[in-house]
Structures are given as structure tokens and as C-alpha cells.
Amino acid sequence: MATIESSNAVNEQPAQAVQLAATARFSNRADAPEHARQAHYVRQEIMKEGDRLRGKYPFLQRKYESAISALIMLLSLAGMAATAWAYVQGVMPGWAALMINAVLAAVIHELEHDLIHWMYFRKTPWAHHLMLALGLIARPTTVRPWLRRSAHLNHHQNSGQEEDIEERAITNGQKWGILRLIMLADLPFAIAMHTLAQPGWRQKLWYVGYVGGALFPLGILSWSAWYLFLGFHLGNALFAPQWSATTLQVMSWINVAIVVWVAPNILRTFCLNFLSSNMHYFGDVQRGNLIQETQVLDAWFLFPLQLFSFNVGKTHGIHHFVVREPFWVRQMTMKRAHEVMREAGVRFNDLQTFRRANRWSKDGEAINGNTANAAG
Ligand SMILES: [Zn+2]
Ligand SMILES: [Zn+2]
């Protein structure tokens, strides 16, 4: 074990680096690798900023976090319901209802993500699970959060590695092209591609059963409604058929569900997954090196994507350094966090990642033979 103490040899000795990374992702010891000391500095500074804000604004204190999360959930759900009502009453156009509910569902997604890290109602499981259930009802197109939890915690443990299935599922590591774009927009299509990429029929069956099960029941229902909606309107445009009164009645309800519930989530998920799958590096990330795991995407022209994902391009990298901070505090620490992340060597707006299939290395060497996903 004595050799692990030697920091200068880390780059030359990957096995040692792995061991070090497992124990010292953040370390200010003089013999820790440079990246761990940088990560330690970034983490300390972000936590200091969080503490400073809690001192300045007492309502941000830890003891109120669960109550604030419940309040945000209630307000977001009420907002979605009010928007739906306004659309049904004819006082709000469909596009506005769709966009408002996408923003509100993105806020609820932040809540779900924090809940996955057990941030709220840790000591009252019924309230914790009720929050997760409400989040799922508001965001029916996604996998159930109870199943997502293990994939997401694994993402933090193995970010950018082959084991990082959460990021791979949203196309991270694949070569960029039209296929990757469609996979980001259409979850069932992505599942079909991932299924085809499985090596044998047993694995194909297992994969489709696992993901299909994770989407049961709301995911299956909402995506079925989406295709029915598309098929109905395509059929109308092409053939103008005479529908029965019952069909028209059912479709009018499906139309409402799509505008205020399903389409906002499809839009939101596209924006979230687009930013997330391009701001995480993949395939050649040094294990445990926080500086290489993410970049910050905060270019002005990404504004629409940030709007429908609650700023994930700007703030998700911060979360990799300091996991245990509610999303509203994360937003508030952003300015200071970006300063120290930049100082520590975290990249900003590295758009060349689109040409490198998420690889960290800029010389292209690491890309060879390490395609994340056979579907790509
Ligand atoms: Zn997380
Ligand atoms: Zn991440």
C-alpha cells in the first residue's frame, strides 16, 4: 500500500490511480493526486458558499429543506393543473400550456433527482415515497424513480466509465448523428436501438423486459397515447377519414392529455438528456477524476434547453462536486462554483465534444475501440 502514497507516479500506474480514486476523489493531502486536491478545493469553496447563503438567508437552513421541497412540489403540481384548466377552458393556447408545463415538470425533475439522493424526508419514508410518486405522476414518460435510484447512484460512482448505464442509456459516448438525435427525442426508439445492440436474444429479451417494466404503467400509457396522437393526426392529414363520435370524443381527451401532460415531458426530457449527455465525458475519463467527469455548458444559445431542464447544463457539474445540496441552493451557488471550477481546470462550453463522441481526450487517441454503445 505504501506505493499508493506516491502521487507523481499516478499517471504512469493506472491500477494505483484506480485505488487512489476510490479512496481519495477529494483530498487535500500533499501526496494526493493533483485532480483530487483540485476537486477538494472546488468542493470546499462550493460548500462554503452554501453555508454563507444559509447564514444570510435563514430559510435556506437544513431544517427547512424537506418543507421547502414539499412546497415546491405542491406549487409546481398546482401550476400544472391550473395550466391544464386554462387550456381546457380555451383561455390559454396549446403551445403556451405545453411550454409552461414543461418548465414546471423540469422543476419537479430537480426534486426527484434530489429525492433520489435521499435529501428530503429521509426520516419519514411515507412522505419521501409520496413525493417520488407525485413526481412520477407529473412526469409519466420516465422510468419509475425507485428503479432509477440505483442507476443514478451508480452514475456518480462510475461517471464516464463503461458501467455508467444511466448516461449510456441517453446516448452518451455514441458518435453524433441523426440516430443519436432521434434516440434523444424518442425513448421507445432508443429502447429499441439499445435492445438491438444486445449481443444475444436472451439479453435482448431481458433488456426490453427490464426497461419496459421500469416504464410500467405510466410510461407505457403515456408513450402509447403519444403514438396514438401522432397516428390520428397523420391519418387525418393523409386520408381525412370519417371517425365515429366515440373515437372523436376519446381523441379529444387524448389531445388534452398530450398538450398539458405528455408533450411537455417529451420536450423537457429531450432538453435534459441533450444537455446531460453532452456535458458528461465518457470512455476515457480517469476513474475518480472529478475534473474530467463533466464540463459546464452555459453558452447563451443553449438558453431554451436550460429553460426546459432547469439549468442542468450550468448546474449539474456543480452537483458532481457537492451532491448534498438542494437544487435551489445549487442554483444560488452557481457564480462562485463556476469561478472555482474554472480555476481547477473544469472545461466550459467544450462544444468539440460533439465531434469526439464525449471523449475527454482532445487528441483523438482515446476514441479508438471504445464506442460506448453498439447502437452507435
Ligand atoms: Zn445526482
Ligand atoms: Zn452526472
Q: Is residue 52 assigned to a domain?
A: yes
Q: Tell me, what amino acid is at 90? A: G
Q: Is residue 25 assigned to a domain?
A: no
Q: Tell me, what amino acid is at 79? A: G
Q: Which pTM does this prediction carry?
A: 0.90
Is 70 exceeded by the pLDDT of residue 249?
A: yes
Compute the distance from residue 375 Cα to the ligand 2 centre, in Å: 22
Contacts of 101 (CB under 8 A, 6+ apart): 79, 80, 83, 84, 260, 261, 264
Q: Is residue 4 assigned to a domain?
A: no
Q: Is residue 13 assigned to a domain?
A: no
Compute the distance from residue 155 Cα to the ligand 1 centre, in Å: 8
Q: Is residue 24 assigned to a domain?
A: no
Location of C-alpha cell 391544464:
84
* Nearest ligand for residue 151 CA: 1
What is the per-residue pLDDT across 307-342, written as a single tens digit (0 to 9) for each? 999 999 999 999 999 999 999 999 999 999 999 999
Compute the distance from residue 246 Cα to the ligand 1 centre, in Å: 45
**C-alpha cell, 291:** 475534473
Q: How far apart, in whole angstroms, are the C-alpha atoms of residue 325 and residue 53?
A: 12
Compute the distance from residue 73 Cα to the ligand 1 centre, in Å: 18
DSSP 163: T
Name the residue range of residue 183's domain.
32-367
Q: Is residue 27 assigned to a domain?
A: no
Predicted confidence at residue 30, as pLDDT, reads 87
Q: How many domains is the chain partitioned into structurally?
A: 1
Compute the distance from residue 316 Cα to the ligand 2 centre, in Å: 6
Compute the distance from residue 57 Cα to the ligand 2 centre, in Å: 28
* Nearest ligand for residue 119 CA: 1
Predicted confidence at residue 23, as pLDDT, reads 53
Q: Is residue 6 assigned to a domain?
A: no
* Nearest ligand for residue 317 CA: 2
Is 80 exceeded by the pLDDT of residue 244?
A: yes
* Nearest ligand for residue 316 CA: 2
Compute the distance from residue 80 Cα to the ligand 2 centre, in Å: 27
Is 80 exceeded by the pLDDT of residue 367?
A: no
